[in-house]
Homo-oligomer: A and B are copies of this chain.
Amino acid sequence: MNAPYHHGNLRQALLDRAIETLSEKGVEHLSLRALARDLGVSHAAPLRHFATKADLLNAIAIEGVGSLVAATDQAAEAASGVKRLRAMALAYVDWAMANAALHQILRNPDVMRHASDDLTKMLTTFAEAQRREIATAQSQGWRPDEHPDVLFLHLVSLTAGTAVVMTGDVYRDPVMTSLAKDRVAASLDLFFG
């Protein structure tokens, strides 16, 4: 009748509930103790799974990057060359819009400051994949004369920036954001076109 002594899958439950809370209240109001209360577990139980709050956020970020990489990988399958690069960029922005809370975690300096080796490695791998795609696209005739570093910086800035703008961090005016929604592809194509 009573709740069982062991939760069963507290770790994942914490991650899921934390992501919910984050999208509602932001990282500043995420509290381990509130999570524990929400899940009907004692205030110190989360510490068995995440030694510190930073660890929890790091784990969330790892889940986020995994989801992001999966989304861009899937988008990449359909095409090749520049179109592949374009598809990945669009998928990135789409993913960010669909997972705004997760995206904000990945862009939060206070979270990434404590990034684990695993997390930084995932991000590095992601960046390397993008560099490879650029090289391939260039070898197939897309902007062959530009320096790869310039294209990479531009690609990363543009995609990250568009995601940031579209998830409402910059101009929180919803009218502007919804207006811009229809322009995302066109904006990206100023680069890919």
Contacts and interface: CB of A to CB of B under 8 A. Distances in A.
Copies of chain A in the complex: 2
A28 B123 CA distance: 23
A179 to B, nearest CB: 6
Interface in A144-193: 146-147, 149-151, 153-154, 156-162, 164-165, 168-173, 176, 179-180, 183-184, 186-187, 190-191
Interface stretch (A2-10, A80-88, A110-118): A110-118
A127 interface: yes
A187 B28 contact: no
Q: Is the interface of A mostly helix, strand, loop or mixed?
A: helix
B169 A110 contact: no
B149 A183 contact: yes
B108 A187 contact: no
A127 to B, nearest CB: 6
B172 A107 contact: no
A176 B165 CA distance: 23
Contacts of A108: 108-109
Given A27-B110, A149-B180, A115 B172 contact: yes
A153 to B, nearest CB: 5
Given A127-B171, A186-B150, A156 B165 contact: yes
Interface string A6-49: 00000000000000000000111000000000000000000000
Contacts of A186: 146-147, 150
A157 B147 contact: no
A28 B158 contact: no
Given A109-B26, A161-B158, A153 B169 contact: no
